[in-house]
Amino acid sequence: MDYEIRFSGLNFHAKHGLYKKEKEKEQLFKVDISLTARWDSSFSDDMKNVINYEEIFNEVKEVMESEPFNLIEALAEEILNRIEKYNPIKATVTIHKPETELSKNSDDVSVSLSKSFA
């Protein structure tokens, strides 16, 4: 059996982007994550039996607060690479960038990357 962990709308202010002004002034980024993991049939009410949500959040936070990435695709890929050590079967990371120049004509711009680890 499998189980899924979801994070929706993790908010970060950071300086990621291709353009100079995006690297100078912080913008809002929202991150959604979905992880699918194996459910151990010998499960007990013990943290060692599941993926620690706080550790995942801290990995995402560290990436979001790191040196600027030019592309949100690269940002999502780095988060996926960090998540791999928690042994999910599959993970999807969506980076929303609602404060781009395109925001004048849309509510949001986002990129989603998925990776299977099994």
Catalytic residues, by residue number, are: 97
Q: What span, in angstroms and rounded, lies between the C-alpha atoms of 49 and 39? A: 8
Q: What span, in angstroms and rounded, lies between the C-alpha atoms of 100 and 15? A: 12
Strand-pair category, 2-14 with 90-96 = unpaired
The candidate with the shortest Cα–Cα distance to 84, out of 41, 48, 118, is 118
